[in-house]
Amino acid sequence: MPFTALGLHPALVRAVKALGYTEPSPVQAGAVPPALAGRDVLATAPTGTGKTAGFLLPILHHLLAGPRGGVRALVLSPTRELAEQIEAVARDLARFTELRATLVVGGKSIGPQEKALRAGPDLVVATPGRLLDLMRQGAARLDRVAALVLDEADRMLDMGFLPDVKRIVSKLTAREQTFLFSATLPPVIAGLADDLLRTPATVQIGRRTAAAVGITQAAYPVPAHLKTALLRHLLRATEMPSVLVFTRTKHEAKKLAKVVAADGFAVGELHSNRSPAQRTKAMDGFRRGAFQVLVATNIAARGLDVDHVTHVVSTDVPDVPEDYVHRVGRTGRAGATGDAFVLVSPAEEPSLGRIERQLGQRLPRVTLPDFDYHQQPAGRTAITERKRPGAPKKLRPPAAQPPRPPRPRRR
């Protein structure tokens, strides 16, 4: 189905073409027609499926049809980075129109955001906390908002934003259409959907917690104290043009970035100890290819949209399977392929087991024939073992397994 078949405003079809999209992705094909007809939409879709344009296209279409004046559409996002990306997509899609979008996010000075809001943009993309601040100051008038989007609703829940979201929603007295997008649908989010949506069109792309397609996943068993060494080895031995490395804590991210930089890699750092300017610089550098490696924590990398991520390496096993799915979804975006590796210590095997049960597949275990699993840690150990109840005090190297060489790159 071509984009022209959706019945979108010609300025939007032109923008979509200019972005190089040839046909709607499945989530767009599922969400756009009912949304254009005015229906609410409940979408569960893996990351990287084109969901942002899935809600922005019908919203911009309706904004173009209605009279200008005041904020008429609001997108709420859990993180600043995701909000920035949504606003960038909105600008791209609205480039052949007069519509204006504004970003309202924490961590940046409030003055310019207040001024932009008072000017009455058509669309606001916001994180909940900052928007509430501006609403309390009387700078954000939302009584004309007809369309509301809650993006990554499950993450809003994880981050404790639901009370703020509900407070904001209660002020949207002119709300006519609501979109709820979530990677997963835990009971609380299903309940929220029940409260907010009227007979929504439902779009479900893939399994509820399946990792995005096009991704090859593997687990690398390794004693916790050798994870840093194994990561350095992998970076040297495998061709990884653009790799996103996840750590459990911001301190590990910082230390690991130093270690990897000392090995001669161009590295960016993305975690909450970095200033907004430093975070933007890290994201932009990674996006442009100036940084081959981006070391990040979960929250900082949420929603990160970089087309060319070829590898995602998790240096810890997340306790929550959805977090693993989200990390993995940073590669293989928009139908591309990618590799996702997870370094797993013996104490983390139960967590990996939970993830595997949720994925419905067992990840292949890979040991590297040319890596010394019995070595003492060299000086540079950035990744440390988390204290887990019942974790063995002394960690043994993984049981002997038939060595497998690193897989050759497919591209």
Q: How far is the CB of 179 from ligand AMP (least distance, A)?
A: 13
Q: Can you tell me the distance from the alpha carbon of 92 to that of 187, in angstroms, rounded to the nearest whole number?
A: 35
Out of 13, 15, 28, 341, point to the residue binding ligand AMP (CB under 6 A): 28
Out of 25, 209, 314, 331, point to the residue binding ligand AMP (CB under 6 A): 25
Question: Judged by CB, which is closer to ligand AMP: 73, or 219?
Answer: 73
Question: Judged by CB, which is closer to ligand AMP: 29, or 363?
Answer: 29
Question: Does 21 interact with ligand AMP (rule: CB under 6 A)?
Answer: yes
What are the DSSP E strand ranges found in 347-404? none
Out of 334, 357, 388, 396, point to the residue binding ligand AMP (CB under 6 A): 334
Provide the Cα torsion 297, 130, 286, 268; round to 10°.
-50
Q: How far is the CB of 25 from ligand AMP (least distance, A)?
A: 4
Please tell me what DSSP assigns to residue 138.
T
To the nearest 5 percent, what fractions of the chain are helix, strand and coil?
40, 15, 45
Question: Does 333 interact with ligand AMP (rule: CB under 6 A)?
Answer: yes
Q: How far is the CB of 42 from ligand AMP (least distance, A)?
A: 16
Tokens 């974790």, located at residue: 391
* Residues sharing a CB contact under 8 Å with residue 261, sequence separation 6 or more, in sequence order: 267
From the list 19-27, 179-187, 203-211, 263-271, the region that binds ligand AMP by CB under 6 A is 19-27
> Per residue in 201-228, is it b (16+ CB within 10 Å) or e — as a string?
bbbebbeebbbbeebbbebbbbbbbbbb
Q: How far is the CB of 89 from ligand AMP (least distance, A)?
A: 7
Q: How far is the CB of 212 from ligand AMP (least distance, A)?
A: 9
Q: How far is the CB of 404 from ligand AMP (least distance, A)?
A: 32
125 DSSP β-pair partners: 75, 103
Note the residue count of the chain.
Answer: 411
Q: How far is the CB of 107 from ligand AMP (least distance, A)?
A: 21
Question: Does 48 interact with ligand AMP (rule: CB under 6 A)?
Answer: yes
Measure Cα distances from 340 to 65, 211, 213, 216, 364 in Å.
43, 10, 12, 6, 11
Q: How far is the CB of 59 from ligand AMP (least distance, A)?
A: 14
Report 110-129 residues binding ligand AMP (CB under 6 A): none
From the list 18-26, 225-233, 264-272, 373-381, the region that binds ligand AMP by CB under 6 A is 18-26
Exposure on the CB side of residue 84, measured as CA atoms within 13 A: 20
Report 49-78 residues binding ligand AMP (CB under 6 A): 49-53
Q: CA torsion sign, 250 to 255 to 260 to 265?
A: positive
Question: Judged by CB, which is closer to ligand AMP: 40, or 305?
Answer: 305
3-state SS assignment for residue 183:
coil
Question: Judged by CB, which is closer to ligand AMP: 90, or 383?
Answer: 90
Give the strands of the sheet with 41-44, arranged side by side. 101-104, 123-126, 73-76, 147-150, 177-182, 41-44, 201-204
Quickly count: other Cβ atoms within 10 Å of residue 171's Cβ.
15
Q: How many residues bind ligand AMP (CB under 6 A)?
A: 15
Report 290-319 residues binding ligand AMP (CB under 6 A): 305, 307
Question: Does 321 interact with ligand AMP (rule: CB under 6 A)?
Answer: no
Structure tokens, 193: 């959907």
Q: How far is the CB of 293 from ligand AMP (least distance, A)?
A: 20
Residues that bind ligand AMP (CB under 6 A): 21, 24-25, 28, 47-53, 305, 307, 333-334
